[in-house]
Structure 1
Amino acid sequence: MKRKLLGTAALYVCILAATVFTARTSAQGGDSRIQRGFELAPVPLEMKGLNPALVGLGSYIVNAQGGCNDCHTDPSYAAGGDPFSGAAEVVNAERYLAGGRAFLPSPFVSRNLTPRASNGRPAGLTLEQFIEVMRHGTDFKNGPPDNVPILQIMPWPVYGKMSDRELQAIYEYLKAIPCVPSGPMSTRCDGA
C-alpha cells in the first residue's frame, strides 16, 4: 500500500513538473529558434507593431536556415568578415538583404527584400504576394498580370514547402529590418 501511494505521489510530481515546464516554455515563446533568431539578426530590428515570436522565428529561418544573405546581400560579408576565406563571419549590415547580386552569365539580379519606405512592405509585396512568390515563384515585378513570369534563380520550390507560419514569420522579420536603398549609389530607400 505504501509503495502504491509513493508511486502515485511520484507520478503526480512528474505530471506537475511537466505541466510547469510546458507552461513556462510556452510563456517564453516555446521555441528556442525564436531567441536564437534575435541573437542572429545582423541589423537592429524595429519591433513596433510586430509579433516578436514571428520576428524571432523569421530571423532564425532567414539567417540560420535559408541562406537569404548569400544572394540578397551584395557583397554578403563585410570586409575582413568572409567565413569562406577563414575569417570570423561578419554579415554586410550596410547592404543586408538590399539585393543587387548579379548571377552571371544570366541577366538575373537578386531583389531588394528590405521594407519599402513608402508602405513598409518587404520587397514592396503584400503578405499574400510574398507567399505566392515563395510557393510558386511568381514574379510580380516583371510581366503583365495575366502572364506573370516565374523566378528563375530563387529556390522557391524549396521555400514553397515551408508552413504558412514559417512564411509569415519570414515576412514579419523582413518588416522589422531597416530599409536599404537598392543600388550602392542609390539614395532612395524604396527598392527601385
Structure 2
Amino acid sequence: MQWRHFITIGFVGLLLSCTSEDMGTGDPGEAPVPLDPRVVIGLRFAPVPLNLESADRAQVGLGSYFVNAASACVDCHSCPTYRPGASPFTGGRGRLSAATYLAGGVPFGQNLKAPSLAPDAKGLPGGLTREQFMSVMRTGRDPKDPNRTLQVMPWALYRIMADEDLLAMYEYLRAIPPAQPGACTGPGQ
C-alpha cells in the first residue's frame, strides 16, 4: 500500500471519530455523539465566513454539504460562480467567488435571472421565511407569484429530500453573509 492510501485511511478515520463535542455542538452533560462526516466536509468547504452565533453548528455544516457539494446551488445562484481564473472548466482550481456567493443574478434567457439565496436585511435567505423556503422546495411555486412554477430550479428533485435536510440547507443559508451579484452570461462561470 502506498503512503497516500495510509493518509486517506487516516483522514477518513479522523472524520468518523470526530464527535459533536469536538466540534463544539455537544451538550456537556451528554455523551459525545459521532459527527456525520458530511457535517465536517460542509463546514470545511463553506467558501465564506459563517455566522454561527445562536446556530446549530452541525445543522449548518450539513446544510453546507447539501448546498455546496450535493446540490451545486452555487452554479445557478452565483454570478459569477468562480473567482477570476479559477473555473475548473478552464483549468482553474474551482475556488468559488466569495463576493458574489449565492447572490443570484445568473441569467437564463432574456427575461429570467436566478434569485439571491443570500440573507436579506432581515437575515432571511432570499427573503424567504422557513415556511416559504420549504414550500418552494416542495412545490416549485414562485413565492412572489404562486401561480407560476419555477421551471429552471430542480425543485422536483429537492421535494423528495427529508425535512431535516431541507431545514439544514435553510439554516446554512441563514449563516452566510449577504452578497451582491456581479456580471456573468450563464450558470457555472
Q: Residue 59 of structure 1: SS of its match in structure 2?
A: helix
Count how many residue pairs are aligned between Structure 1 and Structure 2: 158
TM superposition shift of 1:176: 0.3
**Deviation, structure 1 residue 130:** 0.2
Distance 1:84 1:23 in 2: 34
Gaps of 5+ in 1: 1-20, 186-192
2:105 maps to which residue?
100
Distance in 2 separating the partners of 1:175 and 1:34? 16
**Deviation of the 1:28 alpha carbon:** 5.1
Name the counterpart of 1:111. 115
Find out whether 1:72 has 2:77 as its counterpart. Answer: yes
In the alignment, structure 2 segments of 5+ residues that lack a partner are 1-15, 21-30, 184-189
Q: Secondary structure at the match of 1:50?
A: coil
CA 24–140 in structure 1, closer or farther in 2 if over 3 Å, else same:
closer
Q: For residue 177 of structure 2, give the secondary structure of its aligned residue in structure 1.
A: coil
Q: Which residue of 1 aligns with 2:139?
A: 136
Answer whether contact 1:140 1:148 (CA < 8 A) is retained. Answer: no
1:44 to 44, 49, 53: 49
Q: How does 1:17-32 map to 2 (within 5 A)?
A: 27=32, 30-32=35-37
TM-score for both structures, normalised by structure 1: 0.76
| Contact 2:80–2:182 (CA under 8 A) maintained in structure 1 | no
The alignment's C-alpha RMSD in Å is 2.2
User: What residue number does 1:190 align with?
Assistant: none
Residue identity matched to 1:71? C
Q: Name the TM-score, length of structure 2 as normaliser.
A: 0.78
Give the Å deviation of 1:59: 0.3
Offset at residue 49 of structure 1 (A): 1.1
Asked if the contact 1:99–1:109 (Cα under 8 Å) also holds between the matched residues in 2, the reply is: yes
Q: Does 1:53 align with 2:53?
A: no
- One-letter amino acid of the counterpart of residue 175, structure 2: A
How far apart, CA to CA, are the structure 1 residues paired with 2:54 and 2:19? 24
Match of 2:186 in 1: none
Instruction: Give secondary structure in 2 for the equivalent of 1:56.
Output: helix
1:150: Cα distance to partner? 1.0
Provide the rounded CA distance (Å) in 2 between the counterparts of 1:35 and 1:28.
14
- The amino acid across from 1:65 in the alignment is A
User: Are 1:62 and 2:61 matched, yes or no?
Assistant: no
1:167 aligned residue = 166
Q: Is the 8 A contact 2:18 2:34 kept in 1?
A: no
One-letter code of the match for 1:168?
L
Q: More helix by proportion, 1 or 2?
A: 1
Structure 1 residue 165: Cα displacement: 0.5
Structure 2 CA distance for partners of 1:81 and 1:28, relative to 1, 3 Å: farther
